[in-house]
Amino acid sequence: MTKTLASLTMLVVCLVAGTQNVHAAKKQNISGSGCVEKAIENSCRVIIDSQTGELYSLQFTAKPPKSGTAIRFSGRPHKGATACIQGKQITVSKWTKEKGIKCPPPVVMAEAGR
């Protein structure tokens, strides 16, 4: 009986610790900068981070920047489903135009692979 109780206690402790780590990872802030482009899906916007090369799909809560605009953004991993399938999904909490990056003319990402 004591061994069973100890085993169950350890199991609960491990499950709670694992859940806390998942929640902490979801709360992390992500930031980057680069040129905003339309994705394969017209309503989606993507950016390749100018520092890391990471591809992000940006979900804006307010009006998004136009394609071909250089921005610096910060946000958190997006929760829930989205129609955007390219890159890591980020819900943008703040963005500003970035003057230090020169963007090429706007290109839809689907056309870039042709």
HEC per residue, 17-51: HHHHHHHHHHCCCEEEEEEEEECCCCCCEEEECCC
State the CATH number of the domain containing residue 53: 2.40.50.140
In a domain, 80, yes or no: yes
Position with higher pLDDT, 6 vs 99? 99
Bridge pairing between strands 55-60 and 70-77: unpaired
Predicted TM-score (pTM) of this structure: 0.68
| pLDDT above 70 (res 16) | no
In a domain, 89, yes or no: yes
Task: Tell me the residue range of the domain where 44 lies.
Answer: 30-102
pLDDT digits (tens, 9 = 90+) for 50-109: 999 999 999 998 899 999 999 999 999 999 888 888 999 999 999 999 998 899 876 555
Residue position matching structure tokens 């998942």: 22
In a domain, 84, yes or no: yes
pLDDT band at 14 (very low <50, low <70, confident <90, very high): very low
In a domain, 98, yes or no: yes
**Reduced to 3 DSSP states, what percent helix, strand and coil does the chain have, rounded to the nearest 5?**
25, 30, 40
pLDDT of residue 20: 47
Bridge pairing between strands 55-60 and 45-48: antiparallel
Number of domains the chain is built from: 1
Q: Which of 93, 101, 89, 97 is nearest to 56 (CA)?
A: 89
pLDDT digits (tens, 9 = 90+) for 29-45: 999 999 999 988 878 99
In a domain, 49, yes or no: yes
In a domain, 93, yes or no: yes
